[in-house]
Amino acid sequence: MPTPEELLTRMVDEVFNEPDADRRAAVIAEVFAEDVVFTDSAATVTGRAALADTVTGLLAQGPGFRFTPSGPFRGIGDLGMRPWRLGPPDGDPVLGGLDVARVVDGRIAQLWTVLEG
């Protein structure tokens, strides 16, 4: 069964940084619970399809931008946390935050994104 650290790594690399919607959807099905709840400063959405739509919208706001970890993974029990930055691959980040995930039965069941500043 995947660990929270493994799931958060896949989430960033293969979901939030994946431009191809079909590949992104396949990984969402593997990494996230069917009824996942994702909360950020803009909204709370429920379900894999709503999460996929949210990621598509985020990617459209910064074409070519990449999410990268900006610190070590931290976790306890079924919770995992990792700070990140967003920006162009060869430039300064334009945004940063912290993802907090709760894992149930080997999948992310809840995800909170807290933006810096």
Per-residue pLDDT, 63: 87
What is this structure's pTM? 0.94
The answer to whether residue 117 scores a pLDDT higher than 80 is no
For the domain that residue 96 is a member of, what is the CATH number? 3.10.450.50
Question: Number of folded domains in the chain?
Answer: 1
Q: Which amino acid is at 107?
A: R
- The mean pLDDT value of the chain amounts to 95
DSSP codes, 3-40:
-HHHHHHHIIIIIIT---HHHHHHHHHHHEEEEEEEE-
Q: Give the separation between CA 53 and CA 50, rounded to whole angstroms.
A: 5
Q: Which amino acid is at 70?
A: S
Note whether 56 and 49 are within 8 A (CB): no
Residue-range definition of the domain harbouring residue 45: 4-115
Q: What percent of the chain has pLDDT over 90?
A: 91
Lookup: tokens for 71 = 């610190």
Residue 92, SS3 per DSSP: coil
| Half-sphere exposure of residue 67: CA atoms within 13 angstroms, side-chain side | 25
Per-residue pLDDT, 76: 96
Q: How does pLDDT run across 32-80, given as a tens digit for each residue? A: 999 999 999 999 999 999 999 999 999 999 889 999 999 999 999 999 9
